[in-house]
Amino acid sequence: MIQSVSQCRAKPQRPFDSGEGVTTRRVSANNTPAHEDPARKGRDSLDYPATDRGQDKELGVNTNDGTLRVEPQDGITSAFYEWRQLSVSVTISRKEERQNSGESRLLNLLQSKMMQAERSLQELLNNCIVGGRISSGASSADGSFVARVGTLDSGAPGPLPLTALIDATPSRSRTDIGNINPSTYAWWQNQEVDSGATTYAGVKQEMTDLYTRCARGAGGEPDLIVADRLGWITYFNALQSQERYIRTDARTVDVLGGSQALAFFNASMVWDEVVPDVKTNADVVDAIGTVSKSTMYFINSEAMEWIYDSETNFINTPFVRCDSLQNRELN
């Protein structure tokens, strides 16, 4: 059996309140001020603040030093996430043992079984993170997506999916995302744009709108866009013959064995076959509904984190002979 214990979580990044006396400034994509950099232009210099430069001060004159607020910055909020575990089995029947008798052939059989198990676990993890599942009782539109559960044990949930972390209804009342309810705390809500575009130019305009919404503040801009296949194709066609938009550097992301990453500002855009239609509750993994609208997730990797147990990161447990398969009367 191959097991992995891990967490997929969003880092809570609460914005500064206006009453904190904090002055903020916009920065450009390369983390430099949006205005010109004085140091780069050679217009900065070193001086000592003992006296005002170019002025004579009289003794006893109050310089009216500014008042500095010393309250703790409101930038860290506690969020709690539960550990989740994924596992798959590696089963070798007595018939397979006899058909592959001999040390070398048995080793080849075991290698094939392990490869199948690893591929199955990769697909399972991808379905958990990208797809998730529609929660029971979801409405016909904008239904709530939650973590997938075990096939035999419905009380064993998997990692939180993108469909839950980036909700189609940002103000939905839920506590499974870090135990913080976005309906109560608006700063915990993600951005969302319901597309109404009918042209390629309209698609790019709406994508730019969402990208800039996500880039506001000091947290940075999205660096990864995960879309369904038709959404990726639509954006690709919108680029026409502008091949410069195709990623050819080391940042190219390879998903499902060969998806080409496209560039959108500083983000790499890829597609995944299990991205659901969150507007009409079409779940590809569970074959629920029909996908009629594309979904794109604009992700800032700085705001997300994957944590795994150092002693349970895809470990192998010993083989155990299951006598119940041969002697069912023992059940």
Instruction: Give 119-142 pLDDT, tens digit per residue.
Output: 998 899 999 999 998 886 555 567
Q: Which residues does 74 contact at the CB level (< 8 Å), separation at least 6?
A: 14, 16, 17, 20
Query: Interior CA angle at 291 toward 287 and 293, to 5°?
Result: 155
Q: Which of 51, 34, 35 is nearest to 43 (CA)?
A: 35
Q: Tokens for 162, please give them.
A: 């993108």
Q: How confident is the model at residue 264, as a pLDDT?
A: 92
Higher pLDDT, 289 or 123: 123
Distance CA(261)–CA(252), nearest Å, equals 6
Q: Tokens for 68, please give them.
A: 């500095």
Q: How confident is the model at residue 48, as a pLDDT?
A: 54
Q: How confident is the model at residue 144, as a pLDDT?
A: 85
Q: Which residues does 261 contact at the CB level (< 8 Å), separation at least 6?
A: 246, 247, 251, 252, 253, 268, 269, 270
The pTM of this model reads: 0.71
pLDDT at 9 over 60: no
Question: Parallel, antiparallel, or unpaired: how do β-strands 267-271 and 224-227 relate?
Answer: parallel
Q: How confident is the model over 150-164, as a mean pLDDT? A: 88
Q: How confident is the model at residue 35, as a pLDDT?
A: 43
At 128 the three-state DSSP class reads: helix
Q: How confident is the model at residue 233, as a pLDDT?
A: 92
Q: Which of 180, 205, 201, 204 is nearest to 190 (CA)?
A: 180
Q: Which residues does 91 contact at the CB level (< 8 Å), separation at least 6?
A: 113
What is the widest separation between alpha-carbon atoms in the chain?
103
| 248: number of Cβ within 10 Å | 11
| Residue 162: band (very low, low, confident or very high) from pLDDT cuts 50, 70, 90 | very high
Q: How confident is the model over 165-169, as a mean pLDDT? A: 91
Share of residues in the chain with pLDDT > 70 (%): 68
pLDDT at 316 over 70: yes
